[in-house]
Amino acid sequence: MSLFSGLSAFPITPLTPEGQVITDDLARLVSRIEAGGADSVGLLGSTGTYMFISRAERRRAVAAAVEAAISIPVIAGVGAMRTDEAVALAKDAAAEGAAALLMAPVSYTPLLEEEVYRHFVAVASGTDLPLCIYSNPGTTKFTFTPALVSRLAAVPTIAAIKLPLPATDLSADLAAFRAAAPDLSIGYSGDWGCKDALLAGADCWFSVAGGLFPKTASALARAAMAGDRAEADRLDAAFAGLWELFRAYGGLRLVHEAARIKGLTTASLPLPLLGIDDALRERLISVLPE
């Protein structure tokens, strides 16, 4: 199985109120992901609140995760506003033993296509690690076109893309990117639609829920990738209530609270992000899978 395939499980990054990584809690989460059968750890993604964490603490997080993940690779997020910062983060991740990189085109002023292209080329050239394009237009306000992805696929170390679920036909979206970049691994985020993405032939499920429920998520990914729709549907049904809440409220606040409910950390979201209210917490408790 290639690096960017199967289930890539994304844990939260437990932080103190001062923004320091609680490495013991992070190691516990990573060990659970590995024991649950995930194929990789997606560290410092949006679920991992990477943009709220300093360079030094992001490096500490990579080191802790790599030490905890004995048999599966760690894919480290290196997104930053400035290109030089992202290059430095990539080099830090490589030095701490990350197996691959993940990067979104973070911005304040919306980026132009050529700016994104040059940004990715610079970061991809900064290390020998394979890099996964992180397309997250909901936060970055930038949409990757198949034409741009085709250009980026020619960069030797760019190996994969993490796509959001499309608003229309998923199979057509996958086919368009597959035609544009046939050598890239293509995966999706948006947990509620990833069963269908894998059944349609996507290579990877980049999963928020996998960071807390890796055993069931891993089984779901395996069934869908094997084309076993009945088993995939059965396993996906265990997440139905959680998918409903994710679609209504987003996963970030919910998964942090779920980690606290399960006793995996006492960490809260970094301010100014706030937790969920009591009513939503009770709804979340009622739908959490085993």
Q: Is residue 141 part of a domain?
A: yes
> What SS3 state is found at 268?
coil
Per-residue pLDDT at 259 = 97
Mean local confidence (pLDDT), 246-266: 96
Contact partners, residue 240, CB within 8 Å, separation at least 6: 287
Angle between helices 113-124 and 83-95 (to 10 degrees): 30
Q: Is residue 250 part of a domain?
A: no
206-245, pLDDT tens digit by residue? 999 999 999 999 999 999 999 999 999 999 999 999 999 9
Per-residue pLDDT at 108 = 94
Give the CA-trace dihedral at 191, 197, 203, 207, to 10 degrees.
0
Give the whole-angstrom CA distance, residue 10 versus residue 73. Answer: 12
5-34, pLDDT tens digit by residue? 999 999 999 999 999 999 999 999 999 999
Residue 28's domain spans which residues? 6-228
The CA R_g of the chain, rounded to the nearest whole Å, is 18
Q: Is residue 174 part of a domain?
A: yes
Q: Is residue 42 part of a domain?
A: yes
Residue 14 burial (C-beta neighbours within 10 Å; 0-12, 13-18, 19+): buried
Q: Is residue 214 part of a domain?
A: yes
CATH at residue 188: 3.20.20.70
Mean local confidence (pLDDT), 77-87: 98
133-153, pLDDT tens digit by residue? 999 999 999 999 999 999 999
Q: Is the pLDDT of residue 275 over 90?
A: yes
Give the whole-angstrom CA distance, residue 59 versus residue 49. Answer: 14
Per-residue pLDDT at 290 = 74
Q: Is residue 279 part of a domain?
A: no
pTM, to two decimals? 0.96
Give the whole-angstrom CA distance, residue 29 versus residue 68. Answer: 9
Number of structural domains, the chain?
Answer: 1
Q: Is the pLDDT of residue 1 over 70?
A: no
Give the whole-angstrom CA distance, residue 206 versus residue 10. Answer: 7
Give the whole-angstrom CA distance, residue 200 versus residue 76. Answer: 27
Q: Which residues are catalytic?
A: 134, 162
Q: Per-residue confidence at 70, pLDDT binned at 50, 70, 90?
A: very high
Q: Is the pLDDT of residue 55 over 80?
A: yes
Q: Is residue 23 part of a domain?
A: yes
Please, what is the average pLDDT of the chain? 96
Q: Is residue 244 part of a domain?
A: no
